[in-house]
Amino acid sequence: MIELKHIDVHFETKEHILHAVRDVSLTIEKGDIYGIVGYSGAGKSTLVRTINLLQRPSNGTVHVSGQDLLGLNAKDLRSARKKIGMIFQHFNLMNARTVAGNVHYALRSSSLSSEEKKLKVTELLDLVGLADKHDVYPSQLSGGQKQRVGIARALANDPEVLLCDEATSALDPKTTLSILELLKDLNDKLGLTIVIITHEMEVIKEICNKVAVMENGSVVEEGDIVSIFTDPKNALTQEFINTATHIDQALVKLAKHPSILDLHDNDTVVRLSFVGQSTNEPLIASLYSRFTVTTNILYGDIEILYDTPIGNLIVILSGSSQQLKQAVNYLESQQVTVQQLEKIQLVNKSKVIPLNREKII
């Protein structure tokens, strides 16, 4: 569907050359909701703009629906762009036009009759849930409503691809969810391929089936959402995931919590992570009944990613070292990843970090 090969983008200024995107190759399949996550300045907005050539790459090739976009003349590129919708962080609606006028603008050069265009505008506004805002100007809409107009406008020419450039970053969490729900809906109903650029792993977690992580213009890790979330290889990916699953905040809180401060000799703090069926096993109960290891749950979280449950627990295990060893072996036999945590004292704040793997019980 979308094939980027060896994309480089650099901007030349008098003093130096800025490499915004370095040798990125991505393949996005039809029907994917593909997330590209990274901090600001990672080059993700520049990368997504190469898909509709709003940004021409310095090197590399761009194919969308089998068409080599870089080989098209201006006119053919314009018709290709009509099949690639795009929505923006700041909505970019035309203030001088009504909601209907904004959607209608996208249909300017379509071959529909003016009656058909009107009908199409009404249908699109219905689809995004703004049937009653037909003749309202954008200045009277809330952020979420503006983005819905943006979506209706982007869908006007029945595109196969929708590019979302930080489309929810200017919205509050609740509105973000409702917009993401709408996007998911469109993906289901219309088979729309969606590319989402964001700095929030939460957004990725909510709707994407695939994800690429970007840093300094390069893709550092890429894969389907479940494997990325359960087994992140890159440090940056781990950081994003810890933020998204709130493990980071939990660790910060634990560092301040007294229960961690006065651990007994036989106590140890561990993080348990598990994927899929093992969530159904009564693990904690088994630990006590089998090994008389008691478990004190400090933090727990279960995410459902594409119907796969992913759990994270931070617990204190108490028992003799022999019992603990057996318990950990048992957990690992149940496909639970066990990671021992320790508390370290920094200059004026304490922090809980994972122990080195060798040190595990």
Partner 1 sequence: MNRLLNWLETIAPNVWAIPDRILQSTWQTIYMTLIAAVIAGTIGITFGVILVITNRRGILEKPRLYNKLEQFINTGRSVPFIILMALLAPFTRFIVGTTIGTTAAIVPLTIGIIPFYSRQVENALLEVDPGIVEAAESMGSSPLEIIFGVYLKEGLPSLVRVSAVSIINLIGLTTMAGVVGGGGLGDLAIARGYNRYQLDITIVSTLLIMLIVFVTQWIGRILIRKTTH
Q: What residue ranges bind partner 1 (CB under 8 A)?
A: 52, 54, 77-82, 84-86, 88, 90, 92-97, 105-106, 108-109, 137-139, 150, 153-154, 156-157, 163
| Closest approach of partner 1 to the CB of residue 22, in Å | 23
d(CA 337, CA 156): 47
| Closest approach of partner 1 to the CB of residue 110, in Å | 10
| Closest approach of partner 1 to the CB of residue 128, in Å | 16
| For partner 1, the closer CB: 45 or 323 | 45
| Closest approach of partner 1 to the CB of residue 45, in Å | 11
Cβ(2)–Cβ(27) under 8 Å?
Answer: yes
| For partner 1, the closer CB: 48 or 298 | 48
**Which residues, 6 or more positions from 287, have their beta carbon under 8 angstroms from its beta carbon?**
293, 294, 295, 317, 327, 330, 331
DSSP 149-210: HHHHHHTTT--SEEEEESTTTTS-HHHHHHHHHHHHHHHHHH--EEEEEES-HHHHHHH-SE
Place of tokens 């060896």: 6
| For partner 1, the closer CB: 102 or 176 | 102
Residue type, position 235, single letter: A
| Closest approach of partner 1 to the CB of residue 170, in Å | 12
| For partner 1, the closer CB: 20 or 269 | 20
| For partner 1, the closer CB: 46 or 268 | 46
Cβ(273)–Cβ(311) under 8 Å?
Answer: yes
Task: Note the Cα 19 to chain centre separation in Å.
Answer: 24
| Closest approach of partner 1 to the CB of residue 182, in Å | 19
d(CA 231, CA 227): 6
d(CA 34, CA 192): 11
| For partner 1, the closer CB: 124 or 163 | 163
Structure tokens given for 52: 């509709």
